[in-house]
């Protein structure tokens, strides 16, 4: 039997692939071919990697052995019981459609960085008329409103996080903070949730030192979970810069040049760091 056809019967094979323990080239090729045609397994692999990235169990970000095994075993369960739609509903990322909508907007709607959202230039001053003429921005806010309606009353950390991101894109920062605070209360091990909370707190803070201190604490909490989390490093730089701590802000920005080289977010961060160094 081919590797491709055997995947739904051998959870260990897919688990080994996810866990980077599959060394046989024939098996690697077979798994790659299978993933190219099997949406179920591809999404499970993607979900496992995303979960491991957001929930590192050690400073090195090691992935617990049981995690890929459990998710790979789910291939057999859902295929055998016809329960794929239940699995998909449980683990599908509700924020993904909003990310796609926001990525079409020419300028980013926030100064801070929400994890997984693409970089775009920031326009500091924009009139209401400008925004009404921007069809892509209106579409993004419509997607945010739809996501907020679907997730605002949700009981899971994922739903509350999605609601918080949607509220932030919609311009309701206070509501966003409430949802994101509930998300980190439900799942304090997610670097993404803490980082996005720091972004929301920063957007609300302006020059308020107390609010900026809360934003810094959220960014630091994200980095305590995942010390090289790029979005949290970027937001930490913004917050420290707003607090007038230029040297520390420059250091946070410059760290991105090591952990996330080549990213447009890093290019902006390095530019900010250079400006701060020149001032000191």
Tens digit of each residue's pLDDT (9 = 90 or more) over 101-129? 998 888 888 999 999 999 999 866 555 55
The per-residue pLDDT of the chain, averaged, comes to: 79
- pLDDT tier at 9, thresholds 50, 70, 90: very low
User: Per the structure block, which two tokens stand in for 61?
Assistant: 């970000």
pLDDT at 46: 63
Mean pLDDT, range 29-54, rounded to an integer: 63
In this predicted model, which residue has the larger pLDDT, 231 or 60? 231
Q: Which residue has the higher pLDDT, 61 or 169?
A: 169
Whether the Cβ atoms of residue 132 and residue 138 lie closer than 8 Å to each other: yes
């Amino acid at each position: 039997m081919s590797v491709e056809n055997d995947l739904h019967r051998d959870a260990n094979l897919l688990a080994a692939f996810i866990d980077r323990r599959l060394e046989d080239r024939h098996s690697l090729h077979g798994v790659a071919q299978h993933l190219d045609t099997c949406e179920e397994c591809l999404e499970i692999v993607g979900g496992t990697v995303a979960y491991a990235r957001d929930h590192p169990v050690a400073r090195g970000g090691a992935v617990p052995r049981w995690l890929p095994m459990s998710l790979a075993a789910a291939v057999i369960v859902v295929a055998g019981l016809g329960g794929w739609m239940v699995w998909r509903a449980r683990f599908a990322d509700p924020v993904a459609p909003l990310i796609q909508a926001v990525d079409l907007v020419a300028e980013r709607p926030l100064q801070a960085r929400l994890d997984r959202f693409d970089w775009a230039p920031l326009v500091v001053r924009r009139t209401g008329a400008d925004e009404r003429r921007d069809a892509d921005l209106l579409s993004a806010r419509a997607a945010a409103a739809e996501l907020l309606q679907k997730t605002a009353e949700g009981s899971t950390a994922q739903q509350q996080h999605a609601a918080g991101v949607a509220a932030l894109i919609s311009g309701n920062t206070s509501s966003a903070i409430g949802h994101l605070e509930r998300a980190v209360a439900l799942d304090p091990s997610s670097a993404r949730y803490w980082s996005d909370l720091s972004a929301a707190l920063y957007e609300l803070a302006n020059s308020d030192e107390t609010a900026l201190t809360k934003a810094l604490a959220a960014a630091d909490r994200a980095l305590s979970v995942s010390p090289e989390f790029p979005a949290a490093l970027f937001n930490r730089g913004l917050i420290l810069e707003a607090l007038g701590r230029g040297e520390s802000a420059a250091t946070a920005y410059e760290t991105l040049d090591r952990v996330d080289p080549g990213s447009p977010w890093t290019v902006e961060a390095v530019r900010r760091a250079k400006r701060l160094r020149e001032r000191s």
